[in-house]
Amino acid sequence: MRDLLPYLKLYKKHWFGLSLGMLLAFATLFASIGLLTLSGWFLSAAAVAGLTIARETFNYMLPGAFVRGFAMGRTAGRWGERVVSHNATFKLLTDLRIYFFSKLAPLIPGRVSNLRDADLLNRLIADIDAMDHVYLRLISPMVVGTLGIASLTAFLCWFDLEIGLTLGSILLVLVITWPILFYKLGKRNGLELTQHKAKLRIAGLDWLQGYSELTLFGAEERYRNAILDAQRRLMNNQLVNAHFSGLAQALLMLANGWTLVLMMWLAADGIGGRAPDPLIAMVAFATIASVELLMPIAGAFQHLGQTMTSARRLNQVILSEPEVTFPDQETQHDGNYSIEYRDVSFAYDDQSPALQNVNLKIEAGSKIAIVGQTGSGKSTLTQLLTRYWDVNQGEILLCGQPLRSWNESQLRQAITVVSQRVDILNGTLRDNLLMAKPEADDAEIATALEKVGLANLLNDQGLDTWVGDGGRQLSGGEKRRIGIARAILHNSPILLLDEPTEGLDKQTEQQIMNLFESHFEGKTVVFITHRLVNLDQMDAVCLIEQGQVIEHGAHQTLIAKQGRYFELCQTL
C-alpha cells in the first residue's frame, strides 16, 4: 500500500468533494436499505392489521409517506453521488496528470531514455486512469460499507440485541475476508492486465507510426500480428477479471441467502421477547438489503492488484530524481551574451567520451560555425549549453556566469534552438507559433511568417489552418521555416542552429541562409553543420573531430593555415 501514498496525498486538495460524495453514497445506501426494510414491515403489518380489528386504527399514511420519501431519496442520492464523486475524481485525475508530467519533464532525456514513447503515453493515460479505482472502488465503498454495517447493526440492536449483533458480526466477517480473498485471486491477473495493456498500446503505436516503412519492407504483417497477440492476451485477462467479478457476486448472494435463513431461525420465536409479529419481516428484509452494503466491496479489492501495478509504474517516474536540476533564484549578469567552454568533457552513460577537454569562447554578437563529421560531438555542444545534459568535467560560462547558476526560465528566455528536426504539433498554424511567444497577437505571428517567406500559408483559413499530425500538410522546407519563425517570435539573444538546412535542396538552403543573415543580426549565433557551405560569412569556424577541437579561427585564416580544415574544403 506504500505505493499509493504519493497519490493519497493529492486527495487533500479535493477532500470536500470526495467527502461529500461518500456522504451522498451513505445517504443513498441508507435510503435503499430503509426502503426495503420499511416496505417489508409495512406490508406484513398491514396484512396482519387487515385480518384483525386493528384495521380501523392502523396508520397507513405515515409508513406510506416514508416509503415514498425513501424511494425519492434513493433516486436523488444516487444521482447526486454520481455527479459529485465523478466530478471530484475527474479533477483529481487532471491534477494527477499535471503532477505526473511535471515530474516527467525534468527527467527527459536522462532517467527515461530507456522508456518507449508509447510506454510513457500508456503511463500518462491508462495507468493514471487506474488510480480512480482507489477512491471509487476502494476507499468510498469501504468507508460507506463500514458505516452502513454499524448503522444497520445499531438499528436492529434497538429491537433485539442478539439478532443485531449476529447480523453485524456476519457482515463484519464478510467485509474483512471478502477483500483479502479476492485481492489474492485478482492480484496476478491485475498485474498481467496492466502489462498487456501497455504492450498493446506500444505495439499499436509502433504499427501506426511505421506503417509506410513496414509495408515497404514487408514487415507490416508481423507487426500487425504482434498487435493481435497483445490484444488476445489482454482480452484473456479481462475475461478472468469478469469471471472473478461473477464469482464474487455469486458467493456473496449465497452468503446472504444462508444469513437470511439464520436470521429467520433466530427471529422465529419473536423479536425482543415478544410474540411473533411483523418485526420478523423487518429483520428478514433488512438481511436481504444488507447485500447492498457488500456488493461494491466484493469487487473493490479485485482491482487493487491492477491499481498497485499502475502505481508502481507511475512511481518509477514520479520518485526518480532528475539528473539536471536548476536553482530557484535568477543569476545576475551584465547582459553580454558570450559563451565559454572551459575544459569541458562529457560522455553518454559510460560510453566513450563525446567531448574531451573542449576549450572554446564565443564572443557576444558573433557568428560561429561548428563543423565536423556526423558523430563528432557538434550537437552535444548545444545540448550541454541548454542543459539537456550536464558536463562531466569542466565548466560552461554564459555571460561570464556559470551555467549551473542560471534559473531554468531565465536560460530558456536567453536561448533559441532551431533543430534539424522541427517538431510540429497536430494543431493549427497559430498553435504551433504561439509556443514561441504565448502572448503574441495574430498580426505579430503573420509578420513572422511573412519574414520567413510563408505568407502563402496565410491564404484560405490563415492562422486557423490545420497542419496535421507532425505537419503532414507541410513540406520539409516549410517546417524549417516555421522553426525559424518561432525563433523570430522568441527573439532571444542567443541562437543555436543545429543542421537547419540538412536534407534541403540548394535553392531552399540558400533562402534559409539568407533569412539567418537578415533576421538575426547582432545576436550570438552558433551554427552546427557538417556541410562546408557559406562559412566565409561566419565570424569564426570551429572544427571538431572525435570530441576534440582541432582548429578554431576565421574561415580565411584557417584556409591560409592549410591544416585539417583546408583539407576538408579541398574535398568539396
Return the C-alpha cell found at 90.
475527474
- Give the model's pLDDT for residue 472: 73
Tell me: pLDDT of 378 over 80.
yes
Range 382-392 burial, b when 16+ CB lie within 10 A, else e: bbbbbbebebe
pLDDT at 235 over 90: yes
Give me the mean pLDDT over the 378-404 stretch: 89
Greatest Cα-to-Cα distance within the chain, rounded to the nearest angstrom: 126
Residue 53 has pLDDT above 70, yes or no: no
Highest mean pLDDT among 190-194, 225-229, 472-476: 225-229
How many other CB atoms are found less than 10 A from the CB of residue 45? 20
The residue-averaged pLDDT of 137-158 equals 86
Identify the residue with better confidence: 321 or 236.
Answer: 236
pLDDT of residue 279: 83
pLDDT for residue 504? 66
Report pLDDT for 113: 65
Task: Give the span between the Cα atoms of 439 and 26, in whole angstroms.
Answer: 48
Per-residue pLDDT at 1 exceeds 80 = no
Q: pLDDT-based confidence at 331, cuts 50/70/90?
A: confident
Percent of the chain exceeding pLDDT 70 equals 96
Percent of the chain exceeding pLDDT 90 equals 9
Query: Cβ(13)–Cβ(247) under 8 Å?
Result: no
Pair 153, 165: CB distance under 8 Å: yes
Task: Quote the pLDDT of residue 236.
Answer: 93
Overall average pLDDT of the 430-453 stretch: 88
Closest CA relative to residue 468, chosen from 426, 430, 507 = 426
How many CB atoms are closer than 10 A to CB 518? Answer: 9
Residue 484's pLDDT band, with cuts at 50, 70 and 90, is: confident
Residue 409, amino acid: S
List the single range of 48-57, 431-440, 462-471, 557-566 with lowest mean pLDDT.
Answer: 48-57
Supply the pLDDT for residue 233: 92
27 Cβ contact partners less than 8 Å away, ≥ 6 residues apart: 73, 77, 81
**Beta-bridge partners for 395:** 342
The helix/strand/coil state of 416 is: strand
Contacts with 551 (C-beta within 8 Å, 6 or more apart), sequence order: 541, 542, 543, 558, 561, 563, 564, 565
Q: What does the buried/exposed string (b/e) look like for 492-501 if buried means 16 or more CB atoms within 10 Å of the residue's CB? A: bbbbbbbbbb
At residue 397, the pLDDT reads 92
DSSP letter at 322?
P
Residue 194 near residue 123, CB atoms below 8 Å: no
Q: What is the pLDDT of residue 229?
A: 93
* HEC profile of 83-138: HHHHHHHHHHHHHHHHHHHHHHHHHCCCCCCCCCHHHHHHHHHHHHHCCHHHHHHH
For residue 345, the cross-strand partners are 393
Residue 41 has pLDDT above 90, yes or no: no
Question: Kind and range of the H or E element at 415?
Answer: strand 415-418
Copy the grid coordinates of residue 463.
492562422
**And the C-alpha cell for 21?**
460524495
Find which of 52-66, 249-263, 316-330, 529-543 is predicted with most confidence, using mean pLDDT: 249-263
- DSSP assignment of 504-554 equals --HHHHHHHHHHHHHH-TTSEEEEEESS-SSGGGSSEEEEEETTEEEEEE-
- pLDDT for 232 equals 93
Say whether pLDDT at 543 is over 60. yes
The answer to whether residue 446 scores a pLDDT higher than 60 is: yes
Q: What pLDDT score does 299 carry?
A: 65
114's CB contacts (< 8 A; 6+ apart) are none
| Mean pLDDT confidence for 141-154 | 88
Give yes or no for residue 572 having a pLDDT over 70. no
CA-nearest of 558, 522, 517 to 534 is: 517
For range 282-309, the mean pLDDT: 79
pLDDT at 480: 81
